[in-house]
Amino acid sequence: MRTSYSALDTFKTCPLKYKYQEIDKLKAPKRIEAIFGTLLHDALKFMFERSPLYPTVDEIIDHFAKAFGEKSESLIWTEPAKKETEEKAYYEEGVKLIKNFYAKNQPWNFNALELESRFSLELPDKKTAETHVLSGIIDRIDKNDDGYEIIDYKTGKKMPSEEKLADNLQLNVYHLALTHRWPSIAPEKIKISLYYLKHNEKISASPDQNKAEKTKKSLLTTIREIEERKKRGDFPPMPGPLCGWCGFRKICPMWSHEYKKPETPSDEEAAAAIREYFEIKAAEDASDKRLKELRDKILAYMDSQKLGRVFGGDGYITKTVQERVSFEIEKIKPILEKLGLWDEILEPDMKKLAQLIKTLPDAEQDAALAAKTVKSFVTLKASKK
């Protein structure tokens, strides 16, 4: 398989989007949120290029403005009716980020070796006897006194902690690619960094060789899962916070009904059932809220009057005290293990167990997966827009 980090990341976010994008090769319309980051990356690449001099901040903004104008007409805007307002907001945000970045990172103070550097990394899988190829693009590679630095620009608001950065799969993939390209350079001499443009801050980490092996294992595990799902034709949708920025909403089974106009009696019947469902659910939620308010009032009255039971209407209400026992696991575990009772008392957390199995050596992972059973059940969960 020939793939990229971004494709694997798409699969982990939503298998169905991966299928639409990588297998079916469907083209989704570009939205401003997606293209905005691309335009900023292009402007910062231009900033660090010497031909023969580095560009001024005004030249960088002109470069950004020209590219922004060319892309603007073909984009899908969040609110088409407010295109001009939204366009102005994004443009001004881009100019602000460029100015802030330039003030803190004059290009002549850095030795940018490569910009938008392409890599291709072979991943042999001993388990399947296949060799996969992972490709990608690194925003920037700098040479400094301590070695080399991989820098990836981010336009998101959320900035992770530095301790979590060491486990960032994207940066560890880039680190793995460079250590393969330059095997004579010690892995600890290659630093990985994320630069958050909205914060105008950079956070860095230095992965070790153990991270490289863990990264390979994680990539191969994901690739194997994709290959298995291809055989079964099983790529389920995985709705989440990023759905609002997905270009496949109109054909996704999780969202397509929102765009469907009633065409048959069954459509109208379903629409009526959905409306009534939410009406009853709203009434139920209101009842639950009111019951809680009444419960608090009754309990306060019983406490003030030192009563264990109150009477009224068609019955009575009794107050009981229940105890929930808990133990300090680290103190209890050795006692139960000594008696051979630990496995009988505690049930494993299946989600944590599934994640743990992915990190096991291949032989142990196969043995653990052989004991895996999957049960499917259908639920309906109502959510307000």
- CA nearest neighbour of 42 among 25, 55, 26, 29: 55
pTM exceeds cut of 0.85 = no
- Positive/negative CA dihedral, 7, 8, 10, 15: positive
* 334 within some domain: yes
- b/e sequence 285-304, b meaning 16+ C-beta within 10 Å: eeeeeeeeeeeeeeeeebee
In the three-class reduction of DSSP (H, G, I as helix; E, B as strand; rest coil), residue 316 is classed as strand
What pLDDT was estimated at residue 133?
Answer: 94
- Model confidence at 47, pLDDT cuts 50, 70, 90, reads very high
pLDDT digits (tens, 9 = 90+) for 239-291: 888 888 888 988 999 888 888 887 888 888 888 998 898 999 999 999 999 99
Do 69 and 24 lie in one domain? The reply is: yes
- pLDDT for the residue numbered 138: 94
The pLDDT of residue 384? 64
Q: Are residues 41 and 156 in the same domain?
A: yes
Rounded mean pLDDT of 288-317? 88
Q: What is the mean pLDDT of the chain?
A: 86
Q: Per the structure block, which two tokens stand in for 233?
A: 């034709």
Q: What is the mean pLDDT of residues 86-94?
A: 90
On the question of pLDDT at 378 being above 60, the answer is no
Query: Do 80 and 217 belong together in one domain?
Result: yes
Residue 11 maps to a domain: yes
Number of domains the chain is built from = 3
Q: Is the pLDDT of residue 380 over 60?
A: no
Query: Does 74 reside within a domain?
Result: yes
Q: Is residue 208 part of a domain?
A: yes
- In the three-class reduction of DSSP (H, G, I as helix; E, B as strand; rest coil), residue 240 is classed as coil
Q: What is the pLDDT of residue 270?
A: 87
Question: What mean pLDDT do residues 151-166 have?
Answer: 84
For residues 335 and 119, the model is more confident at 119
Residue 376: inside a domain, yes or no? Answer: no
Residues 174 and 86 in one domain: yes
Residue 9 and residue 100 in one domain: yes
Q: What are phi and psi of 23, to 5 degrees?
A: -100, -50
For residue 279 the two structure tokens come to 């009406």
Judge whether residue 153 has pLDDT over 70: yes
Q: Tell me, what's the pLDDT at 231?
A: 94
284 and 187 in one domain? Answer: no
Residues 192 and 78 in one domain: yes
Q: In which domain, by residue range, is 352 found?
A: 329-370
Does residue 241 belong to any structural domain of this protein?
no
DSSP state of 56: P
Cβ atoms of 147 and 185 closer than 8 Å? yes
For residue 130, the model assigns a pLDDT of: 93
If pLDDT is split at 50, 70 and 90, which confidence band does 365 have?
Answer: confident
Q: Which of 232, 252, 273 is the last residue of a domain?
A: 232
Does 274 lie in the same domain as 191?
A: no
- Confirm whether 377 is domain-assigned: no
Burial class (CB in 10 A: 0-12, 13-18, 19+), 147: middle
pLDDT band at 25 (very low <50, low <70, confident <90, very high): very high
Looking at the predicted structure, is the pLDDT value of residue 22 above 90?
yes
Q: How many residues does the chain have?
A: 385
Give which of 6, 34, 4, 1 is closest to 248, Cα–Cα: 34
Same domain, 94 and 188: yes
Is residue 217 packed enough to be buried (19+ CB in 10 Å), middle (13-18) or exposed (0-12)?
middle
DSSP 332-354: HHHHHHHTT-HHHH----HHHHH
Would you say 2 and 133 are in contact if contact means Cβ atoms under 8 Å apart? yes
- Are 190 and 175 in contact by the 8 Å Cβ rule? The answer is yes
Q: Is the pLDDT of residue 122 over 80?
A: yes
Whether the predicted pLDDT of 7 surpasses 80: yes
> Is 324's pLDDT higher than 80?
no
String of DSSP letters for 96-156: HHHHHHHHH--GGGS-EEEEEEEEEEEEEETTTTEEEEEEEEEEEEEEETTEEEEEEEE--
- pLDDT tier at 347 (50, 70, 90 boundaries)? low
pLDDT class for 382, splitting at 50, 70, 90? low
**Of 291, 318, 345, which residue is a domain's last?**
318
- CA dist., res. 241 & res. 14, Å (int): 11
Instruction: For strands 2-4 and 147-154, give the pairing.
Output: unpaired
| 358 and 305 in a common domain | no
Q: Give yes or no: residues 195 and 70 share one domain.
A: yes
CA distances from 338 to 224, 327, 328, 345, 347 (A): 40, 17, 17, 13, 18
- Does some domain include residue 34? yes
pLDDT at 353 over 80: no
Same domain, 140 and 192: yes
Boundary residue ending a domain (295, 318, 341):
318
